[in-house]
Amino acid sequence: MGTAQESWWQRFARLVPDLAKLGVTQVWLPPPNKASEKLGRGYDAYDLWDLGEFSQKGTIATRWGTKAQLLNAIHIAKGHGVQVLVDAVLNHKVGADGAEHVEAIPVHPLNRTIEVAPKKTIKAWTVFDFPGRNGKYSPFRWKHEHFTGVDWDGKARDKGVFKITSNRKRGWSQFVSKELGNYDYLLGADVDHLHPEVRADMLAWASWVLGETGAQGFRLDACKHFDHRFLCEFVKTARSAGRPQMFAVAEVWNSEVGILLDFMNALSVPMALFDAPLHTTFHKASMLGPDFDLRTIFHDSLVQSRPRDAVTFVENHDTVEGQSLESPVSRAFAPIAYSIILLRPEGYPCVYHADLMGPRAIPELPKLMEARKRFAYGRCIDHIENSRDPNFIGFLRTGKSKDGPGCAVILSNDVAITDSSKVLTISVGTQHTGTRWCDYLGREGETYIDADGKGHFPILYGTCVYVREDTM
């Protein structure tokens, strides 16, 4: 959070120039909306229309700062050529202002299609009046008819999953993940995206929040939990307001690439997805060490199947230790993983801020980001010297004279390598004959390019990014 007086939005504004120098062109910020608690991170969404402007939930500012600080930070980012993505939490609401007695059916928590008890009257926290905002920006007030389910019966003081029923309710949406039978319900008061008043309010917010803040796209939270037809409607609405190329990435957390491809094929508008399968492979590789076959690193990944639609990442706020999707990537393997997503042309690489700065930062990461900005251009040619050796891979970026000179990247998970006697021969082209190539990360490996345009690049444990010495 920076100093005690500095909000997170202010810190981001201060860091923008340095991020831009590293080659950052887009930043996904935390949810800017008012949370259910003073220090809530925004995923416990209370009021989407309160960006840190109104006295609600015991605070005016959100955990991240005030609305004025947010707007200033986005303005500074745009001035440095950095787009901002708003994290849109559309699936649920938390922190209701009041409760109602409603009819609901308890369902099995591990299979929401199974009703485990008859319909009964429960006390559900489903009233959202937003008294601090008092109708500014949106007059909409939420009641039980705007939700499909809750997780608490205040009457019986019973925790569970309760499907709200009424004459018009059709139950859970069928256009959601089939996990747990039907994964419409996630947490809190689950939003009913089939309700016309809900759709109208959220679609209005889609255009408003971009226009109000100057942000230029969305990271869409928990998309496998709500009707994907509404997801498409939301993105289409935001793009129709003079933003036809607006970038949107949906969080659909599943490690099976086939499920992600099915999800994308069902969408009526194009958008990117996070490559959770690739992250899962990174986690597995980091746990197995030299027992993992690096040649299989892209197997069953989204970036392999749909490279233009994959947002690749190593870790994020959900995957680190202690979080809901805990699947950490070891510090030893992280530079290899970041080299893969940053220095190859496929996908949209996403760098986790805690890997870049702070006590757990990865020392090699700034140089890898610089290498992407300076050298990772041209065609990508893969090289595997010996198909029987699973512990190293290499690839060449051929470079473009008008953009960058290219680089040769060698990656190894063989901890037994202690010197530079093992090499990978790569043809970089006769135009480089006689030039000396060194590791941009400052390691000891080097080679001279021979008359045939070939270099014999030393293989070292971890990551080496070889570039021409005269371009460093």
- Tell me which residues are annotated as active site: 221, 251
Round to whole Å and give the CA distance between 367 and 371. Answer: 6
Q: Which DSSP state fits 309?
A: G
Residue with tokens 């005016």: 60
Rounded to 5°, the CA angle 383-348-25 comes to 120
Helix, coil or strand: residue 283 = helix
Round to whole Å and give the CA distance between 354 and 362. Answer: 9
Q: What is the DSSP string of 415-465?
A: TT--SS--EEEEE--GGGTT-EEEETT--S-EEE--TTSEEEEEP-SEEEE
Expressed in percent and rounded to 5, the helix, strand and coil fractions of the chain are 30, 25, 45
Which residues are registered as beta bridge partners of 439? 466
> Which backbone phi and psi does 222 adopt, to 5 degrees?
55, 45
Half-sphere exposure at residue 362, Cβ-oriented, CA atoms within 13 angstroms: 28
Q: Which amino acid is at 318?
A: D
Listed residue (277, 263, 278) closest to 226, CA to CA: 263
